[in-house]
Structures are given as structure tokens and as C-alpha cells.
Amino acid sequence: MQNHASLRGCVIAAAAIALLPATAHANTSAVAADAGEIVVTGESLGYLAIDSVTATKIDTPLLETPQTVNVVTAEQIADQAMRSMEDVLRYVPGVTIGQGEGNRDQITLRGQNTTADFFLDGVRDDVQYYRNLYNIERVEVLKGPYALIFGRGGGGGIVNRVQKAPGADKAFGSVQGGVNTFGAWETSVDANLPMGETAAFRLNGFYEELASHRDFYDGRRFAVNPHVAAELGDWRASLSYEYVDDDRTTDRGIPSLDGAPAPGLRDFFFGTDGVNRTELEAHIVKARLDGQLAPGLRSTTTVLYGDYDKYYQNVYANGAPNPDTNEVALAGYRDPTQRENFIAQTNLIADFATGGIGHKVLLGLEYGDQQTANQRYVSSASLGTLDIDDPVRPNAVFDTLSRNRTSDVTFFSAYAQDEIALGAMFDLILGVRFDRFEIEGEDIAGDFPFERTDEKWSPRAGIVFKPQDGLSVYASFSRSFLPRAGDQFTNLTPSTANLAPERFENIEAGVKWEVQPGLAVTGAIFRLDRTNTTTPDPADPANSINVGETRTKGIELGIVGEVMPGWQVSGGYAYQDGYIRGLSDVKLAQLPHHQASLWNRYDFNPSVGIGLGAVHQSSQYASISNSVRLPSFTRVDAALFYSMDDRVEFQVNLENLLDETYYSSAHNNNNIMPGAPLNVRFTARVKF
């Protein structure tokens, strides 16, 4: 690892040197015309996003992006009182929420389950933890393989969080507080302070006490994010530091019975109070430099360093209840992980024309070094069973080391993309990426070293036809890959080290139409094939099994924007069918055939508004065994908004208004999470 550390140090030094000359001239530089837009985050009108840098790394109208992109804007996040990635993604059809073993964000996009396909301002954010929204401007969900832009993984798509940025045009801020009927409460602050005409400082922070309907559940988390940015002539520089501290109960839900979630256990906790715990401490530093090198030639460079220290331990249901005794077998372990990420990427963007044909060319390089240490401890004594009628919970002690792995991942990528304007009606997007992914490490407990190097090319092609203003029809092809080490670098063994990476190929066609100014509808049809596929073994979820090739196909429809003055909507529908090829009766896990959602906000006047939404999800299998099915459900949400004036706002959100009994997510057949009953959330916000 010494050579990698030296290379990482060189890259840090180079990034620092690149920043120094511009900083030295900060006091003498002229005010840029867009001084208030130190970092571009994409334009939006209420719920409707207009453009995005995420999908192509070039600021591109979503109307001209040849793949499905769902954007949840700051306005919608606030209106629905979203506090987590689960809250955001619940209303995005085509995405299902995983349980994440009660310690992390985990999702399924187009049938592909992942814990790592998360990004922050386009930079990989792949550690297993719960992401908060306190410092986030909007969340973008890109569907289909995206290796050209993001590298390995992302087989079903990716989720990118766009961070709030400082602005030098004016001072502003807000203080917010909220409480719900479960007993949880939170407070947050967002303050933007110009420092002269060309620099600004922004501070975001929050504190939250956690509570839910589940027995013994509690926790608290807080984070702070100071962020400074400056205009340096033709350049923009920013530096952000985030500290995250999260401490909560680890809850893995309830078991199944007779092919369905065991009834009557909505609040019942199968762990042990004080033993089931997860803690995370993270330090994340992000530096960015954007500027114009020459007319029509721009560059962007981002460097991210993250240091993550996390553990989780749990006792959980390890089988169905015994129908004669009503007892459930228990299992458990402790899993600490230390991760250090260093990722640097730089891009050149050129705008020019040749023979009347317009080009937007992207050339990029990315380097990463990710060092991980992970252990697993189990109990030397059996945890026995838990009697549901008369529970005596074990005081588990995890004293036996069963896994001890260290790994060092280094990757290097080079990519090129050209957005070609063939007149006013056609755009052609062509690109390719080369990735070199190298992992070396050791399973200390198993006494074997492991290493593997993969070199892969990932192409992307798309065509956009624009027959009239506000209307586009597109078709696209994209490919991605996932190394055998898995998305968390723990799956590589002597038996899998020689297997080829998993491959994802997506074919998609669709239409995007601005029905009227501020209101857009979209539609897409897709087919996603995954080869060399592995999936968690239903009989032993800690291990994976090879299943060959899977296929997911479906359609997605969306509507977002202002229907009429005062009435905004955001909704969609997805039909998906995923299965193992050659075994079409074996369906993919956590992939409902039908998902639909619609959220409305209507303002009667500048002071009073209401919100009403619903999300429907058809039944889905908890695992690839297809032996346990989570039933379909429909959840209804509502809200009431009141503004005293331009500065003081109040809102009440009613979540699961009809008190529907449903099961929101699963990790396997016997770790199923019941949805929360009716919950009322009160929020007050003061702007200044």
C-alpha cells in the first residue's frame, strides 16, 4: 500500500498547487458576471428540473438527455418533509427500498440491488451508511448503466446528491425545527454569508433524535458542513468539509410465516436492547476548481477524501416462527469497518463546430484509492430462540473472530464523450470509458491473500430527435461492469477471483415532452441484461451464488411541474419484469411489477396550501428463492402549509394518512421491515 499512498500524496499536492495561483490573485480579480453562481447545481422551476450536469458531466437540458432521469428538487424535499434517502426514493417509480440490515441505505434500481451506487456531486460515495439531506439541494436518480460517466457498478442506475453551494450575491439563511408523533425531533440551520463580492461561506448543520413505532428503537445523529467558495477571475474554487456522527438501533425487522410476513408483529423487535447498535463517524473533504482555459474550453477538477469508521452489531430473526412453540431462531454478529477513500477526477469540456456540426466534447481522467479493513465477530455461544409470547432476549457477546479482511483498491479511468449537434433537430451522443480496477488484500482469518486486476471498456451511444421545441424522442445503449470483489470489496475469494466481472447492458427508447411551460411528461421503454450474475444465497445471505444471466424489461412514465397556477405535481408509473433467463418463472427479488406515485401541492393563496400524495406498490419477492412475497400496498400522505409572511412558515405532514398495514422493505426472507403507521410531523421554518 506504500506506493499507492505515495501516488495519492502526489495527486493531493498537484491539486493544491493547481489551486494556489488562482488563490493568490483573488483580491485583484474582477467580479465575474455570474458571481452569485459559484457552483452550478442545475436549474429548476419548483418541482421541475430543467437541466443537469450529472447525466453527462456537461450542463445539458434534461429534454436532450437520452436516458431516464428523475430529479427530486429542494422544493419537493421540503414539502414532503423528507429526511432520508428512503423518503426521497419512495416516490420515484422504478426504485425499491432495501432494508439494508438496519444500518445503511440499500436500493434496487431496475432489478439491480446495490449499497454502493451513490454519488455526491458526481463523485463516488460508496460507503455503507445512512445519508441525510440537510445539506442537499436536490437528488438525481439516473436509470440504466452509467459506467461512461461514473465508472464501475451502477448497473441499474445511480443516485447523485447535489450539495448546497455558497453564493456571493446575497446573504440568506434559515433555521428549522420539527417533531413527530413517534417522539423524534430535529433542528437544522442553513446560513449563506457573502465575503466581499467574489467569495461566500455557507454553513449547514443539523441534529436529530430518532424514534419510531418499533419497540426499543432509538438513536441520534448530527452533522455539520462548512463550505467556502470564491470567484478567482475566470475560475471558481470551493472547499467543503463535512462531519457526520450517527448512533442508532440496528433493526432487521420480522420473519416470514407461510410465504408472507408473519402477522401481528408490526412493533415487535427481535433484537436485544443495547446490543443491536450501529455507529458511524465520518470526515468528508471535497475540493473543486472550475474555470475557463480559453474561449470554448473549460475544465473542472474535484478531489474528495473520506475517512469512515463504522460498526454495526445485531441479533436478528434467523428463521420462521415454529408454529407449535411460537419461537424464532436467532443469530447475530458484530461487523466493524474502516474505510479511507481518496478520489480525484478532472475534466476538459470543449465547445466548437466543424463544418456546421456542433460539438461538446468531454475528456476526463479519474483516479481512486480505497483502503478497507473489515472484521466480523460472532458469538461463541448459541443465541438460541426467542419466544414471541414471552420474550427473554439474549445478552449476546460477539467474542469470536470469523472474518478479518483488508483490501486496497486502486482504479484509474479515462473517458471521452462527444455531444454532436446535427442541425437543429438531431443530437448524437457517443462516448467510451476505459477502467483499470485493481484490488489486492488478505483474508487474515482464512489465511489467504487475494488480488485481481480488471481492465474494461464501457461504451455509450444515444440519439435525440427534436421535431419541435419542447419535444424530444431518443434511443440509447449503455454498458457497465461490476468487479468480482462486489460493491464493498468483500466478495473476492480464491474460487471467484478468476471469474469475469458482471456486465450490464441497457437498451432504452423514450420521449420527453414539455406539454406547457413548466410542465413535462416523459415515457421510456427499456431492457437491461446482466451477465455473469451473482445474488445473495437465500439459505445463507452472507454468501453469494451464481445464477447466470438476468433480464429486466419495462416501461416508465413520469409527470412533473405546474399543471396550473398554484398546482404542482410530481408523479410516475413503472412496470418492470425481471427474471433469470432460461428460468422465466424465477423472478428477481424486491422488484414489484407495478409502482405508481403522485404528489400534489396546491396553494390557495400565498399563505395557505395543501399537499396530497399516494404511492402504490404491487407485491414483490423478498429474495431470489421466490418463497416469500411481500404483499402489495397503497400509502396515502397529506400536508398543510401556512406562511405567516415571507420569513415564517409552518407545515404539518401526515404520513400514511389511512394507517395502512404494509411492509416497506426486506433484506431476505426473514428480515422484513413493517411500514410505519400513521405519523404526524410538525415543522416550523424561519428564513432570514
| Mean pLDDT of the chain, nearest integer | 90
Give the pLDDT confidence score for residue 570 in this predicted structure.
97
Q: Quick: pLDDT tens for 313-338.
A: 999 999 999 999 999 999 999 999 99
pLDDT over threshold 50, residue 199: yes
Give the pLDDT confidence score for residue 535 in this predicted structure.
62
Mean pLDDT, residues 508-533: 95
pLDDT over threshold 70, residue 157: yes
Mean pLDDT, residues 247-272: 96
Give the pLDDT confidence score for residue 36 in this predicted structure.
32
In angstroms, the CA 544 to CA 533 distance is: 10
Mean pLDDT, residues 489-495: 71
Q: Quick: pLDDT tens for 60-71.
A: 899 999 999 999
Query: What range does the domain containing 12 cover?
Result: 2-687
Mean pLDDT, residues 263-268: 96
Q: Quick: pLDDT tens for 525-570.
A: 999 999 987 665 556 655 556 667 899 999 999 999 999 999 999 9
pLDDT over threshold 60, residue 215: yes
Give the pLDDT confidence score for residue 35 in this predicted structure.
32
Tell me the backbone φ, ψ of residue 79, rounded to 5 degrees.
Answer: -65, -35
Pairing of strands 199-210, 48-49: unpaired
DSSP character at residue 86: H
Strands (E) located in 115-218: 118-120, 123-124, 136-143, 157-163, 172-180, 185-194, 199-210
Mean pLDDT, residues 461-489: 92
What 3-state DSSP class applies to 10? helix
Confidence of residue 23 (pLDDT cuts 50, 70, 90): very low
Give the pLDDT confidence score for residue 542 in this predicted structure.
53
> Which one is predicted more confidently, 4 or 298?
298
Give the pLDDT confidence score for residue 500 in this predicted structure.
82
Give the pLDDT confidence score for residue 582 in this predicted structure.
79
Residue type, 496: T
pLDDT over threshold 60, residue 86: yes
pTM to 2 decimal places = 0.90
Q: Quick: pLDDT tens for 420-451.
A: 999 999 999 999 999 999 999 888 876 778 88
- The total number of structural domains in the chain stands at 1
Mean pLDDT, residues 607-623: 97
Torsion from C-alpha of 666, 138, 507, 597, nearest 10 degrees? 60
In angstroms, the CA 504 to CA 349 distance is: 27
Share of the chain above pLDDT 90, in %: 80
Give the pLDDT confidence score for residue 52 in this predicted structure.
83
Looking up residue 617, the CATH number of its domain turns out to be 2.40.170.20
